[in-house]
Amino acid sequence: MGGHGRGKSGGRRPQRRKDVRHGEPGDAFRCVGCRLDVPVFAPGTAHRNHCPHCLTSLHVDHRVPGDRRASCRGRMAALSVSVRQDGEWLIIHHCQSCDGLSANRIAGDDNALALLRIAIRPLSDSALPTKVLLAL
């Protein structure tokens, strides 16, 4: 998370290689949200973990991406979008059954409309900070 950890280098979490995928035979998984058959090979990322259509994920990883150590298996809904210092978008997923959070980079074939709807959600409701924007 380059710029967010200001002044710290090499603070990235190690990503385990995904040579063995436990419980996932073949090269596709079915989305728990929209039942789309999703190929695991995605343009732009080696760690596809969410459906490119509805952005729903499954809670299978514990702390390290790809470790498959979570016993939860709950459905994870896309909660918000974060931006890395290098401009990469991350989807923050929120587990519906255990309340956990995780972040994953977007893939090249992710649904742009679904991403944009999450990104503009803070700006679309007429909450208090809008008057701050007008004052700038």
Partner 1 sequence: MSTHKTRSALTNTFPCVRCGLTVAAVAADGSRRNHCPSCLHSLHVLDRVEGGPSECGARMVPISIAVLRTGDWMIIHRCTRCAELTSNPICADDNQLILMRMAVRPLAQPPFPLETFGDL
Chain residues binding partner 1 by CB under 8 A are: 1, 4-6, 8, 11-13, 62-63, 79-83, 87-90, 92, 94, 99-103, 106, 112-113, 116, 119-123, 125, 127-129, 132-133
20 or 127: CB nearest partner 1: 127
- Give the C-alpha distances (Å, rounded to integers) separating 118 from 47, 55, 82: 21, 10, 10
Q: Whole-number minimum distance, CB 127 to partner 1, in Å?
A: 6
- Sequence-distant (6+) residues with CB within 8 A of 115 are 55, 81, 89, 91, 106
Q: 8 or 30, CB closer to partner 1?
A: 8
What's the angle, vertex CA 53, arms to CA 25 and CA 75, rounded to 5? 65
Instruction: Check if the beta carbon of residue 89 is closer than 8 Å to that of residue 81.
Output: yes
CB of 28 to partner 1, least distance (A): 24
Q: How far is the CB of 11 from partner 1 (least distance, A)?
A: 6
Task: Give 5 or 30: the residue with its C-beta nearer to partner 1.
Answer: 5
Q: What is the CA radius of gyration of the chain?
A: 16
Which C-beta is closer to partner 1: that of 29 or that of 52?
Answer: 52
| In the complex, least distance from residue 47 CB atom to partner 1, rounded to whole angstroms | 14
